[in-house]
């Protein structure tokens, strides 16, 4: 694996990275890797997510209408 050294980072940016890492329960180095992964991930990962989200939305649309369930419950009382 490659190593990356980043120099001349503003103190405010370094502090923000430390705070974000702490909030996410990761080391600063692990948080840095995660940020790079999120920003530079391959385009197909985004496409796959978008396709999966579209399939999920389509599947959910086929579900039962909640309004009819509420009416059914009221009528049965």
Do residue 50 and residue 66 come from a single domain?
yes
Q: Do 67 and 47 fall within a single domain?
A: yes
Give pLDDT, residue 26: 93
Q: Where are the alpha helices (DSSP H) in the chain?
A: 11-23, 28-40, 43-61, 66-75
Whether 27 contacts 20, CB under 8 Å? no
* Domain co-membership, 51 together with 21: no
Could you tell me the pLDDT band of residue 13, with boundaries at 50, 70 and 90?
very high
Please give the pLDDT value at position 48: 79
Domain that holds residue 4: 1-40
Give the pLDDT of residue 39. 85
Cα–Cα distance measured from residue 62 to residue 34, given in angstroms and rounded to the nearest whole number: 36
Q: What is the pLDDT of residues 16-32, one digit of tens each?
A: 999 999 999 999 999 99
pLDDT of 62 reads 61
């Amino acid at each position: 694996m490659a190593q990356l050294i980043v120099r001349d980072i503003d103190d405010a940016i370094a502090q923000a990275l430390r705070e974000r890492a702490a909030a996410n329960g990761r080391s600063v180095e692990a948080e840095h890797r995660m940020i790079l992964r999120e920003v530079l991930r391959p385009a197909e990962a985004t496409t796959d997510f978008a396709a999966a989200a579209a399939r999920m939305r389509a599947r959910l649309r086929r579900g039962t209408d909640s309004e009819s369930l509420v009416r059914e419950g009221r009528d049965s009382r």
